[in-house]
Amino acid sequence: MEEPGHPFHRELVRRTGHRVVPVPVDDRGARTDLPAALAAVVVTPAHQYPGGATLHPERRRALVEWARATGGLVIEDDYDGEFRYDRQPVGAVQGMAPESVAYLGSVSKTLAPALRLGWMVLPAALVGPVAEEKLFADTHTASLAQLALADLLTSHAYDRHVRAARLRYRRRRDELTARLRTEAPRVRVTGIAAGLHALLLLPEPDPDEGTVLDIAAGRGLALQPLGDHWHAPDDAGHRRPQGFVIGYSTPAEHAWSATLDALVATLHAAGA
């Protein structure tokens, strides 16, 4: 699993009894010099979480080659591919190797995470076993919600909603980056070409995440530190980059500008 990556997913895999091996990430996405002994690799190729890189075409090819050579499974988590701001949505790795890739998406970013609706595109050999596991895990997903989603899809209301939401979120993203550029210019903003979050990297060596969290709490603002996303302390004892994952879609419309003010004021007060 990607390092840094989604802490909840890492724990989820660990709880199934699997050993989790960190796969380092850089500005081309997940590194693909993978050990052959892995059973599966979980990646976010369209928009690495939380760093925001798009998986480089050479790495896509390397992933597929690794899967074909070892029989390993690529689990492609496409959690926010609908929100791409710089170009057309990025193609899925699944299309390059349908028999080696399990492609996962959901409506959590487009509609609401509360719905718990999603989809999987699986290698043919996995459809039966996964359906059976799901049956014995939760019987089935709520039928009424599925029917409502089917109606949204077939009436094209879903597409219209995503297009309108994309414009709204893009506006928020632009406001966030413009404010940071002028009011917290030492903060580096990455990962903003897609999705609903930005990664804000703090200047070195100060302030650290703890200092910023304390100031934010005093202003009634909760922030998610990058520190939550690492598997373990750096082997060599190096200090990890310090930063925050900012989900700019989260505040309600009426609360957005006050939340943005509080964030910018927090970073400014912390000397960032």
Residues that bind ligand PLP (CB under 6 A): 6, 44, 49, 77, 79, 106, 108, 113, 118
Least gap, CB of 258 to ligand PLP (angstroms): 23
The helix or strand, by DSSP H or E, that contains position 225, with its residue range, turns out to be: strand 224-225
| Contact between residue 92 and residue 78 where contact means Cβ atoms under 8 Å apart | yes
Supply the minimum distance, in Å, between the C-beta of residue 265 and ligand PLP: 26
Considering the complex, what minimum distance in angstroms separates the CB of residue 44 from ligand PLP? 5
Query: Residue 161 or 179: which CB sits closer to ligand PLP?
Result: 161
Q: How far is the CB of 6 from ligand PLP (least distance, A)?
A: 4
- Which of helix, strand or coil describes residue 204? coil
Measured from the CB of residue 20, what is the shortest distance to ligand PLP in angstroms?
15
Q: How far is the CB of 39 from ligand PLP (least distance, A)?
A: 20
Residue located via tokens 């050999």 = 125
Centre a 10 Å sphere on the Cβ of residue 3 and count the other Cβ atoms it contains. Answer: 17
- Three-state secondary-structure class, residue 154: helix
Distances (CA, A) of 212 to 74, 138, 224, 266: 37, 40, 11, 7
Q: Which is nearer to ligand PLP, 184 or 245 (CB)?
A: 245
74 vs 184 by CB, closer to ligand PLP? 74
Residue type, 171: R
Q: Which is nearer to ligand PLP, 52 or 207 (CB)?
A: 52
Closer CB to ligand PLP, residue 11 or residue 206? 11
3-state class (DSSP) for residue 105: strand
Q: Ramachandran region of residue 220, left (φ > 0), alpha (ψ -120 to 50) or beta?
A: left
d(CA 52, CA 79): 12
Cβ 181 to ligand PLP, closest distance in Å?
25
Of 6 and 173, the one with the shorter C-beta distance to ligand PLP is: 6
| Residue among 9 and 59 whose Cβ is closer to ligand PLP | 9
Instruction: Return the sign of the alpha-carbon dihedral for residues 245, 251, 255, 257.
Output: positive
Q: Sheet containing 118-121: which strands, arranged edge to edge?
A: 40-43, 73-77, 101-106, 118-121
